[in-house]
Amino acid sequence: MCIFCDIIKGKLPCDKVYEDENYFAFKDIRPKAPVHILIVPKKHIEKVADIDGENKNVIGDMVVVANRIAKDLDIDKSGYRLVINNGPDAGQEVYHLHLHLMGGKRMIFAA
C-alpha cells in the first residue's frame, strides 16, 4: 500500500495542481512554506537511491514539472527550493519518490 499511489489513482483526496501522462503534483498536507507542492512520478519508485541509468530521466522530468508549476504560481522570480529526502536520516516519510517545491517566503535554512 502506498498513499501517493492512492492519491494518483484518485482513491485518496488531494489538492491537485498538475497532471500529465507520467507525473502528478499536489499540495503538501503539512506545508512548510506558503507554496509547498509535491511532484511525483506515477510509476512507483521508492526513493531517489533507486534512480539508475534506466530511469534517470525521472529526475529531470520532475524538475521540468516543478519549474512549470513555479511559473504558474508566480514564484519563479522570487525563488524556490527543490528538495528530495532519501531514507531515515533525511526524514523521508513517504516511500514513493517525490520532489518538494517550496517557495513564497525567504527560507533561512541553507543546506
Write out the residues near ligand DGP by the rule CB under 6 A.
3, 14, 26-30, 38, 85, 91-94
**By C-beta, is 33 or 70 nearer to ligand DGP?**
33
Q: What size, in residues, is the chain?
A: 111
- Which of 36, 96, 98, 100 is the catalytic position? 98
**By C-beta, is 61 or 94 nearer to ligand DGP?**
94
Q: Does 98 participate in catalysis according to the annotation?
A: yes
Q: Which residues are catalytic?
A: 98
